[in-house]
Chain A
Amino acid sequence: MKVRILVSLKPSVLDPQGQVVKNALHTLGYQTVKDVRQGKIFEIELENTDRQVVEKLVPEMADKVLANPIIENFTWEIIEG
């Protein structure tokens, strides 16, 4: 089974990189861009395909390592299997 985990800064945390990307998009004329948040993607392949186990493991891994819960949130989805 393959899962995709999206890690991004919490809405309450300033994202200077997102701000710069937003400004760049404005400069290019994309005035309808209201906000940009930058994040990270992890694609993880798992041996276990038992959905219940995966649903427990993935958030655990994200909490422990992939995201820093003080500043980041994460979402995840199964993309294969």
Chain B
Amino acid sequence: MKFGVVVFPGSNCDYDTFHALQNVMGQETVFLWHKASDLQNVDCVVLPGGFSYGDYLRSGAIARFSPVMAEVKKFAAGGGLVLGICNGFQILQESGLLPGAMLRNKHLKFLCQPVYVKIDNSRTPFSQAGRKDQVLNIPIAHFDGNYYAPPGVLTELERKRQIVFRYCDERGQLTEEANVNGSLHHIAGVINEQGNVLGMMPHPERASEKIVGSDDGQVIFQSIIDYLEKRAGSQKKKAAKKVRPVVSPLPPLIGNL
């Protein structure tokens, strides 16, 4: 399957995400420059973490005006899979592709630490390789991750099973202490109503190999791959060929800011 990692000025998890997808998961991966108007026929677009446009105005508020975002919106409208991680999640909210907004963390601290999240809905293209209530150990790194949505929207999110990940403790309990940033309903990740756009604050790319402490993030990437391969298989009646993992230098970024 082919993945595209979008690069905004200020993205800083782009290479980690590229590495996780290409070298760990063995998938063909390309960078998509923020000025690009062509998504290079990717099967899944990933908006990585970082500080696009210096987080000026509000996190993610400026990135949504990038030329590439117009293409991402079209891609999503056509059913393409879009994963937003951290700043990518904030950009998806600002773009109107996902509900809600992020407030400053409840204790006004930048939080950079491993957390536990549990899978609340394992029937999405981003979580199907996991089990319902499975606890994942994935790090967060953000200042604005305190999920907010008006009460009516929250009720709808719950009713439509759009909350995919929730902050919890090691045993999967939704304790107050485990909800480190103060998110409403412990929300760590939500999916759109159509089920093809997911945003999550934890960084699965930073938890994709045991050597870095956890490989629980692979659940998210594997879910996407399984979903795409099944979709491609039912279209072409044959399974997509998996690219063998290669530990090669990452391609340099080309383009002017």
Pairwise interchain contact B103-A70, C-beta atoms closer than 8 A: no
Pairwise interchain contact B108-A70, C-beta atoms closer than 8 A: no
Pairwise interchain contact B148-A16, C-beta atoms closer than 8 A: no
| Contact-residue bracket for chain B | 10 to 19
Given contacts A13-B148, A16-B108, A17-B108, contact A68 B103 (CB under 8 A): no
Residue A71, interface by CB 8 Å = yes
Given contacts A70-B100, A70-B101, A70-B149, contact A20 B108 (CB under 8 A): yes
What B residues does A14 contact at CB under 8 A?
103, 106, 182
- A-B pair count, CB < 8 Å, reads 33
Residue B131, interface by CB 8 Å = no
Q: How far is the CA of A8 from the CA of B103 in the complex (A)?
A: 12
Residue B169, interface by CB 8 Å = no
Q: Give the residue name and chain of the B residue nearest to A42 (CB).
A: B57
Question: Of A16, A65, A68, which contacts B101 at CB under 8 A?
Answer: A68
Residue B104, interface by CB 8 Å = yes
Of A17, A66, A70, A71, most B-chain CB atoms within 10 Å: A70
Segment 178-229 of B: residues with Cβ below 8 Å from A:
182
Binding site for B on A (CB under 8 A): 9, 12-14, 16-17, 20, 65-66, 68, 70-71
Nearest first, the 6 A-B pairs at minimum CB distance are A70-B101, A71-B101, A68-B101, A16-B108, A16-B104, A16-B106
